[in-house]
Amino acid sequence: MKNFIKSIPILAITLLVSCNQNKNSDYSKQVEIKEPSIAYSASNHPGKKLMESKCYVCHNPSTDHDSRIAPPMVAIKSHYIGDDTTKEEFVTAMWNFVREPSKDKAKMRGAVKRFGVMPYQPFSEEEIKLISEYIYDFKIEEPEWFKEHIEEESKGKMKYRNDGKASASSASAKANTPVERGLQYALNTKKELGKNLMGTIQKKGTKEAVTFCNKRAYPITDSMAVAQNANIKRVSDKPRNPNNQASTKELSIISQYKKAIANNEEYKPITEVENGKVTFYAPILTNSMCLQCHGTPRKTIQPEVFKTITSLYPEDKAIGYDVNEVRGMWSITYNQ
């Protein structure tokens, strides 16, 4: 039996948004805010799930200060919401940066200096609108150290802000449907892999990140599978490691996802239930960060990085990608 449920695509995001004007951005046009037909709570707001699936790989509030690869989301809230900032202004500022990130437009100068500017990611205006509305309306998760940090760092010039209705942590929220459980397993694993991979890129560079993946990706995935009592695989039609080669059935599903995304059609995670076991499938999409290792040699892949890839993965097929393409797929099996 197959259950098709609307997807929340899995990606990471670094929201260093800006309200500075430049010739490439139309700051006079605000994003229109329409009140939802239902009154969302902190737990069911769609922006909450989007924030956790798209933002928390880099912006996870549970990451300690020294190990961070991007500021927590509450830092963005504190920097971009003032005493008189309306929801429309906040949403517009978020979208105007995310659609075209640049150092000149960034307002969080300290974060840019430490972490760099976020790479462009193909997020939709609607996704950023929902994330922004959730951040504006609700109190969001924050590190224990943040309030003291922002007051000390700014010498009292920056006001700590995390206003809004109380929000329970969805990281530990119970997933109810098969697709929600599958997404939770995939997201938890992606966060752990992403945190370690991005940390390596930040501290040691992309070349060392290739070595990290070669040595640590499988052990981390396996440990997350054991911790979550699930069989977790990342498979591909163009694997870097032959062990990630998709099966015939998985190849067919990957092909469906590729066709849908190429045609700009809606796509959904797939769950199959058989003999008390659930198998969950969801696409893994590329962003501009991925292209450092999976793009085009001498264009987005630097020569020394490509040399390391060919040395560690002599059978590599995982190059030639552009942004927003199907790099592979999560294939996760767990007890019903």
77/94 Cα distance (integer angstroms): 10
Q: Say if residue 101 is in the same domain as residue 218.
A: no
Q: Say if residue 240 is in the same domain as residue 318.
A: yes
Q: Say if residue 197 is in the same domain as residue 258.
A: yes
Q: Say if residue 307 is in the same domain as residue 204.
A: yes
Q: What angle do CA 12, 294, 201 make, to 5 degrees?
A: 55
Q: Say if residue 24 is in the same domain as residue 75.
A: yes
Q: Say if residue 138 is in the same domain as residue 205.
A: no
Write out pLDDT tens, residues 230-245. 999 999 999 999 999 9
Largest CA distance in the chain: 61
Domain membership flag for residue 165: no
Q: Say if residue 101 is in the same domain as residue 29.
A: yes
Regarding pTM above 0.75, the answer is: no
Q: Which residues pair with 235 in a beta bridge?
A: 329
Write out pLDDT tens, residues 218-276. 999 999 999 999 999 999 999 999 999 999 999 999 999 999 988 988 888 999 999 99
Q: Say if residue 43 is in the same domain as residue 88.
A: yes
Nearest to 19 by CA among 87, 102, 124, 105: 105
Q: Say if residue 148 is in the same domain as residue 246.
A: no
Measure CA of the first residue to CA of the last residue in the chain; give whole Å. 13
Mean pLDDT of the residues in the chain: 83
User: Domain total for the chain?
Assistant: 2
Domain membership flag for residue 34: yes
Domain membership flag for residue 161: no
Final residue in a domain of this structure, among 138, 153, 168: 153
- Please give the residue range of the domain that contains residue 267: 178-335
Report whether pLDDT(20) > 80: no
Domain membership flag for residue 166: no
Domain membership flag for residue 170: no
Domain membership flag for residue 171: no
Q: What 3 state SS string does the chain have?
A: CEEECCCCCCCCCCCCCCCCCCCCCCCCCCCCCCCCCCCCCCCCCHHHHHHHHHCHHHHCCCCCHHHCCCCCHHHHHHHHCCCCCCHHHHHHHHHHHHCCCCCCCCCCHHHHHHHCCCCCCCCCHHHHHHHHHHHHHECCCCCCCHHHHHHHHCCCCCCCCCCCECCCCCCCCCCCCHHHHHHHHHHHHHHHHHHHHHHHHHHHCHHHHHHHHHHHHHHHHHHHHHHHCCEEEEEECCCCCHHHECCHHHHHHHHHHHHHHHCCCCCCCEEEEECCEEEEEEEEECCCCCHHHHCCECCCECHHHHHHHHHHCCCCCCCCCCCCCEEEEEEEEEEC
Q: Say if residue 21 is in the same domain as residue 125.
A: yes
Write out pLDDT tens, residues 115-162. 888 877 778 899 999 999 999 999 999 988 898 888 787 777 778 889
Label residue 110 by pLDDT band (50, 70, 90).
confident
Domain membership flag for residue 118: yes
Cβ atoms within 10 Å, residue 66: 5
Four-residue CA torsion sign, 252, 253, 258, 260: positive
Q: Say if residue 147 is in the same domain as residue 10.
A: yes
Domain membership flag for residue 159: no
Residue 106 has which token pair? Answer: 């960034």
Q: Say if residue 42 is in the same domain as residue 139.
A: yes
Nearest to 164 by CA among 192, 185, 186, 134: 134
